[in-house]
Amino acid sequence: MSQSLVIFAPSGSVLYKYNNKLSPFNDFISEIVNGTCTELEPDFFTSTINQKRLYCLKRKNTYAAIYFDAVSTLDSDKIKSCLVDVLKIYLKVTEEELSDRSEKLQKLIDYQFNQLMKLLQAAKVAQSLESGPESKTNSGTSTPKKVQSQTKKTMRKWDGNQMVEVNANEVLDYSEGKAGDDSAINTDSLVSGDAFSQQDDLVLVNELNDILDEDVPSDEVSKKSGFFGKISSYFGGPIDLDEVSKTFTDQFISKNIAPATAKTITDKLNHELKGKKITLKDYKRALTVELTKILTPNVSTDLLYDVKRNSSTSNSRPYVISVVGVNGVGKSTNLAKLAYWFLQNNLNVLICACDTFRSGAVEQLKVHVNNLKRLNTTTNTKIDIFEKGYGGGDHVVATAKLAIEFAGAEGFDIVLIDTAGRTHSNAKLMAPLKKFGDAANPNKIIMVGEALVGTDSVEQAVNFNNAFGNRRSLDFFIISKVDTVGDLVGSMINMVMATKVPILFVGTGQVYTDIKRLSVKSVVDALMR
Ligand code: GDP
């Protein structure tokens, strides 16, 4: 399959390229400049030139463009979402002051591109399976496991005139004003079967397991063999501590651990091991223990136990959880995932719309609540939304207080409060969080942070942790979009190490069951690989 990706500046100069084949982009760029190609949405272009299908997205004066064989078909939303992530990564990583920035860029961007190519491949396989028994025998037996699960997630949706294929991975994307047609969505595609397990009368979230083992970017494999090739001569014999320590520091940085954090970890180990004769195996074992210690929570993360205990007391105050984080990280999606899980556990959930700032945010939550209502046919529980429209800081506080009162009076066990996304480095935007925390006094404050972020995650976590004043801090993190970073899971270390706040769940996709408990071992293994 012929395919390529390029990032370029408005001047046309190439900032990043994958696959080296630039020529097909030239005609496309001139079509964009001349306004002769199709603009699917503002700043999202497409064209078919010389049997190639091309797409281009513009963000912050930077363009990401992609092409592949015109015979391949994929929902343009999926392609847009890949290009959004590619540009997001590019803009973020180029801001970072890293010596090996280009290596990190290459890994993260190529990973996004490869994921998209896999979807294309899966769509092709699905097409050939549908096109008759002959092709079924040809491709059916060799279909890889991952491809099968992706094709299974494809669903049909009525778009007003005809049935169209929609990838289920996108079904919870109600950001950017997509909140219109929830009633058309088939509820089967909003959940998947294997995320939860039953233990007595409790429904428990399963542990993150194979996600981090899959899809190691290909250059990672070759790098890995290079590294081991270099170091294997030391295997069994004493090592040069400084050299090994530097190698692991670099490896951690390439896996999204912030440089200062990576150095703190390896320096600590150096200090402990200095003067001792150790082998590479000893070093790796000690480093594994160190990373495990960092990620292992020293407080209970049994949120369900807490909530159940609260609702079994005569206390009429519901259990209040509020979700905070920067814009677009997945606050409302993950709040809705929590709501779904609580409903499965026979708890009544009130969702309170306290993002009263961003236009469309209340409507976005309503779509989630409507979906959850339609999914909630097997339990005797109820879910509803509490909203008082849009307004400033005082309005947020008043809405939260009213919601908690209402929930207490109406027999809701939990209030889940969505809050406005805010830039962690903007003191003016962060200040209202303290007032909100004091007034709503949530039982738990959860920050949603993206696995994609990298170095900036340290500052994000610290600023949100400090935003609630001296007597209050974050209780948990939910790390979203872990499904989009392969084994580059260093943000988890950044956030936990900077704050000592434990990770409650990780988000692994865009359906309501796409949450997992953290598997410390899987994350540590991914970082050590
Ligand atoms: P908010 O602005 O923080 O409330 O973010 P949203 O909940 O609107 O989510 C922003 C985008 O991230 C949407 O497209 C979501 O579907 C997507 N998203 C959220 N969580 C995950 C996740 O765990 N994995 C993936 N792949 N996408 C996610």
With 0-12 CB in 10 A as exposed, 13-18 as middle and 19+ as buried, what is 401? middle
Quote the ligand 1 centre to 304 CA distance (angstroms).
Answer: 23
Q: Is 442 in the pocket of ligand 1 (CB under 6 A)?
A: no
DSSP class of 357: S
Quote the ligand 1 centre to 165 CA distance (angstroms).
Answer: 21
Residue whose CA is at the smallest distance from ligand 1 atom 21: 481
pLDDT higher than 50, residue 294: yes
Q: Is 217 in the pocket of ligand 1 (CB under 6 A)?
A: no
Tens digits of residue pLDDT in 177-188: 454 455 555 666
Q: Is 172 in the pocket of ligand 1 (CB under 6 A)?
A: yes
Q: Which of 131-145, 254-268, 321-335 has the lowest mean pLDDT?
A: 131-145
Look over the chain and give the mean of its residue pLDDT values, rounded to a whole number: 81
8 A C-beta contact, residue 434 and residue 442: no
Residue whose CA is at the smallest distance from ligand 1 atom 16: 173
Q: Is 513 in the pocket of ligand 1 (CB under 6 A)?
A: no
Closest by CA position to 320, among listed 405, 238, 380: 405
Measured from the Cα of 326, ligand 1's closest atom is 3
Tens digits of residue pLDDT in 71-116: 667 778 788 888 988 888 888 887 776 666 777 777 778 877 877 7
Q: Is 232 in the pocket of ligand 1 (CB under 6 A)?
A: no
Q: Is 480 in the pocket of ligand 1 (CB under 6 A)?
A: yes
Q: Is 484 in the pocket of ligand 1 (CB under 6 A)?
A: yes
In this prediction, residue 190 carries a pLDDT of: 83
Return the percentage of the chain with pLDDT > 70, whole number. Answer: 80
- Substitution site in 175, 492, 515 for ligand 1 pocket (most atoms within 8 Å of beta carbon): 175
- How far apart are alpha carbons 26 and 229 in whole angstroms? 41
Measured from the Cα of 328, ligand 1's closest atom is 2
In this prediction, residue 125 carries a pLDDT of: 66
Contacts of 189 (CB under 8 A, 6+ apart): 153, 155, 166, 168, 171, 511
- Range 356-360 average pLDDT: 82
Q: Is 327 in the pocket of ligand 1 (CB under 6 A)?
A: yes
What is the four-CA torsion angle of 252, 258, 261, 266, rounded to 10 degrees? Answer: 20
Angle at 318 between CA 317 and CA 324, to 5 degrees: 120
Q: Is 516 in the pocket of ligand 1 (CB under 6 A)?
A: no
Tens digits of residue pLDDT in 360-407: 889 999 999 999 999 988 778 999 999 998 888 788 999 999 999 999
8 A C-beta contact, residue 263 and residue 490: no
In one letter, which amino acid is 202?
L
- Range 183-203 average pLDDT: 76
Farthest-apart Cα atoms in the chain, separation: 74
In this prediction, residue 175 carries a pLDDT of: 56
Overall pTM > 0.85: no
Q: Is 176 in the pocket of ligand 1 (CB under 6 A)?
A: no
Quote the ligand 1 centre to 448 CA distance (angstroms).
Answer: 10
187/297: higher pLDDT = 297
- How far apart are alpha carbons 387 and 402 in whole angstroms? 9
